[in-house]
A and B are shown apart, each in its own frame.
Chain A
């Protein structure tokens, strides 16, 4: 495979940035944010350069690698720190650095009042570096480093305002739940090494043919656990909502566009594993399906604009996972949806940020309304994103989502029908809650009180939004034109094409649009045409109440894991004190006690001593006698 020593700069630039900003400390306050942005941008430039390089090469030698150094080498366990840049990772590189840079720019203004802005940018750069390492690592172990790196960055950024106890808790929650996923990843690596003797993508890909299905299933499931944790999929989705504690740009970058999609990357990257493990693949589908519904439902019930977007992210990633679970047919679309989603969801998050910026950080949509007049640019950019996500042609979401739904139907048999209809239903709900957001925020009558002075955000903030908006309009069309992305990625996957079509594409599109229309309509009826009350009505169906509580995810986790965990902990603390240490102290006490008893023999009476001697003598005689006989 072609080697290329330029890859490392992608990572190095932002990494250096973060280190500088952290080590220089206050000294860098003046210019830190600029440096960070510049570095991120230059990393993007490198990415573009790499892309052009890649395009100039023949398909088969488009992937390039760079070996940095021998990282760990013990016996047969031999891992290099080396990078792999191929058609798949380049997509991510561009997404990460591109969107990342935009969000850097946005943050310059958004965070301008925060005295820790430098630290914020350091974290952002750190994240970019880690995320790039994640997608560029050429082995599962290298990926692992990035995988936990982004976890760390996300922890730091969610907890950026950790002087608020709740935020600190949120960041901790995110890290811990991610670690559960990471555990899956380490399982995968262990199994891979133990049974295939290698942990590099290429190695595993080769061995995959020889290994038993059982092994591959095990690896697949382990990888799925990892993906589930990182991408906030069911059942490890609970952290994403709380993660909104972080500054909005963070939510846009990490918890919408990039990090949370790492799970999708992992699954697509490990296509060869799942190809060899149908069971695991089926599980992927199920997880995807459940999550896309889960997210959608939660999304309908939330009043906090960021929480709605978070829920929707969850649901959209559900779509991607679903796509990725559909095998070669779906990979490309999963990635496509990932990219388009990167644009429109980031855009909408930034929009939400801009709204909050204008509304004194108010997040409750029931306190919004009629903002269209006050922040037109935000309204437009957000609106474009909205059209993209609900999948109105020709906006980006239409292409990607529609493809996934179609492929789902084509999965064949009952499976296909179930998945397809789920996806379809999801589309409807998505349309509903996104419309709800639009209405509550922009078009419905104003519900905010007089001390609010909504205003449009400065250019540094709306420019990125605008760019992303453009992306969300065009990207879908561009990527799917002549199946551009599909063909681009194809060489990576083993296509075994039996394409039975359950429904003609046109039919599916029709159905989808119908569902979307229904969703939009019902939202309009419920919120536009009837007025909205400023506080969430209490008299609602149990289902709604559940939905508001994220379908009881936290309650369940608490009941199933937290409480028992705390119980075990306190129990063990007692046991350690009373039983384990108690036993030791007990032995000591026994010794002391017996000493105290025995010394009573020493009565102080000569006669008793003499008696003792006499007894001893007799005993001695007896003993010797017994032995002699």
Chain B
């Protein structure tokens, strides 16, 4: 069986097993879920290893008729970009399962439900990155909202129901706009005699579209992705959702689901509507820069640790979007690498935040204080995660962030320069919570917090390891990304600006 399909079926098998486990056997449930996710991760790693770096076409391709009447295929395949995103997803899921070992128990429903949702979500995460059929992509894109919706609403905390609804409606709205565009594409493709959703075939469609048409269709997609990503001003669902969801869910939400937005911009907006992308680039770059600073400022102002992380992500997604639309190999590869790195640094932040919250029974930053003296390991983990979030050289996010900045600068110097102020703000939004929560005298209520236990260490260790390792040696990933990035850029008819030497002289 095709590896991608296989990795998508595995979780479903896991669910099938879970069904026969009695509610009471909680531990067994968890173990099965964990084993399943680990297996999937293994498959993912194997795919990454056996990925042919030389080949810029889609790999692990599979294509079956699904709804021939509409030319819809069950078509899978990955290029470098999709591959590392899948890798990220399958690596994060087991981490989430381990870290959230007990999250499932104080939920509205049994752990069984929780893990079934996680697993079905994993299937869809792989599918959404792997599908090379626009319709199939859309199906996953929309369908994956449902499990997340129930994960937030059923196992979250606080205003979970409201947050879940906000998240779902926001995303559905975007999704429906995208549906309109997809229908548009479909009809256009039919009109020009090629009734298909195959992305490679459709990438030629723009040649027959009127600019007006192309712009409209582009917007349909872009708004959907901008909501997912989330780009200012369509971001307001994220903080609420992130605050209410369990840390594990938040990791998947910010770490993986939101990447679908930026991934979609690359795979669909750019590939299908190159001209429209060009004409909208100034606007998008502006929005991206706004997101960077806006998100940073709100993070500085945030009182709740989970909201804070959510806002930092908004800032980071600004960087990613900027890198994508800068249309330079550096910016592009940087953005893609950024997606991967952001997945892990946010995961680290959220997981540690989760550990802190579980212990303190509060997510308000000011409730913590002086943790470094009480729970050094936890404090250190948070600190490192924070450092990676502010892109400290030597940690993974620095490489990607810097690539994005450099790449953007070569084409849009002003944007890049403004965005660079983000790194100062980043220092603030990380160091302020660090000071409040970890430094200073140990405040009442924190004296007796226990440090990370073995399970939590096991969960957080690989994440931090990856963060550090990729900071010093990102080449393996870059080797995978670069060819794909180069292809996209060249498809867009762009070439990197040559060094502007001798200007003036």
Contact = CB atoms under 8 A, between A and B. Distances in A.
Contacts of B402: 72, 141, 186, 189
A569 B300 contact: yes
A210 B427 CA distance: 37
Given A186-B423, A194-B410, A210-B502, A168 B440 contact: yes
Contacts of A194: 406, 409-410, 413, 497, 499-500
A570 B303 CA distance: 11
Contacts of A210: 501-502, 505
Interface residues of B, number: 69
B501 A207 contact: yes
Interface in A568-591: 568-570, 572-573, 576, 580-581, 583-584, 588
B333 interface: yes
A158 to B, nearest CB: 11
A583 B170 CA distance: 13
A147 B438 CA distance: 25
B393 A72 contact: no
A73 B505 contact: no
Contacts of B405: 186, 190
Contacts of A467: none
A448 interface: no
Contacts of B394: 145, 148-149
Given A163-B442, A183-B421, A197-B501, A74 B334 contact: yes
Contacts of B360: none
Contacts of A189: 402, 406
Interface in A207-265: 207, 210-215
Interface stretch (A53-61, A172-180, A534-542): A172-180
Contacts of A547: none
A71 interface: yes
Contacts of B438: 162
A176 B431 contact: yes
A186 B432 CA distance: 23
A77 interface: yes
Contact of B441 (A72, A76, A163, A179): A163
Contacts of A69: 473, 475
Contacts of A583: 233
Contacts of A182: 423
Interface in A144-170: 144-145, 147-149, 152, 159, 162-165, 168-169
A191 B413 CA distance: 9
Contact of A163 (B373, B380, B387, B496): B373
Contact of B475 (A70, A165, A568): A70
Interface in A467-493: none
A621 B505 CA distance: 77
A185 B267 CA distance: 34
Contact of B503 (A71, A74, A195, A568): A195
B409 A576 contact: no
B416 interface: yes
A581 B387 CA distance: 30
A187 interface: yes
A196 interface: yes
Q: Decide if the interface of chain A is mainly helix, strand, loop or mixed.
A: helix
Contacts of A198: 499
Q: Decide if the interface of chain B is mainly helix, strand, loop or mixed.
A: helix
Nearest to A176: B427
A74 B478 contact: yes
A417 to B, nearest CB: 33
A159 B300 CA distance: 20
Contacts of B2: none
A75 interface: yes
Interface residues of A, number: 62
Contact of A168 (B403, B439, B503): B439
Contacts of A22: 380
A428 B236 CA distance: 60
A193 interface: yes
Given A197-B498, A211-B502, A569 B409 contact: no
B410 A576 contact: no
Nearest to A142: B393
Contact of A570 (B301, B387, B475, B485): B301
Given A75-B328, A194-B409, A145 B475 contact: no
Interface string B466-505: 0000001111001000100110000000001111111111
B441 A573 contact: no
A162 B417 contact: no
A149 B393 contact: yes
Given A190-B405, A190-B416, A569-B301, A71 B498 contact: no
A91 B294 CA distance: 44
Nearest to B429: A569
B410 A165 contact: no
Contact of B297 (A77, A186, A572, A588): A572
Given A175-B431, A189-B406, A569 B393 contact: no
B441 A165 contact: yes
A211 B438 CA distance: 48
Nearest to A584: B236
Nearest to A168: B439
The 4 closest A-B pairs by CB, nearest first: A212-B504, A197-B499, A75-B329, A168-B439
9 contacts: A149-B394, A168-B435, A176-B428, A187-B420, A189-B406, A190-B405, A215-B500, A573-B298, A576-B236
Given A71-B472, A162-B440, A187-B417, 15 more contacts: A74-B334, A75-B482, A75-B496, A77-B329, A77-B403, A145-B394, A148-B393, A163-B373, A164-B441, A165-B441, A190-B406, A190-B420, A211-B505, A215-B503, A569-B300
